[in-house]
């Protein structure tokens, strides 16, 4: 069976830029809201996928959730 969406939220997705030591908008350009969805795969693993809420729906986040993952609210 295919993966299924467990939940979704609107969020500003930022990625940490190690070179400059700061958070920057994912996908480049101005910070815009994205639809971030949590997917569960048939094997029980999870993945976060974020798409901009603009007509192009650019994917700005595609991250597996693994043990030891660090995140900041």
Predicted confidence (pLDDT) at residue 62 exceeds the cutoff of 60: yes
Q: ∠ CA 44-53-63 to the nearest 5 degrees?
A: 30
72 — pLDDT class (breaks 50, 70, 90)? low
Residue 60 has pLDDT above 80, yes or no: yes
Q: What is the dotted CATH code of the domain comprising 4-65?
A: 2.30.29.30
pTM exceeding the 0.85 threshold for the entire prediction? no
């Amino acid at each position: 069976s295919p993966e299924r969406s467990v939940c979704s939220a609107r969020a500003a997705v930022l990625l940490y830029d190690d070179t400059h030591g700061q958070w920057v908008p994912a996908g480049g350009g101005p910070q815009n809201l994205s639809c971030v969805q949590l997917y569960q795969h048939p094997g029980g693993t999870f993945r976060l996928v974020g798409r901009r809420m603009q007509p192009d729906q650019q994917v700005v986040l595609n991250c597996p959730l693994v043990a030891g993952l660090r995140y900041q609210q």
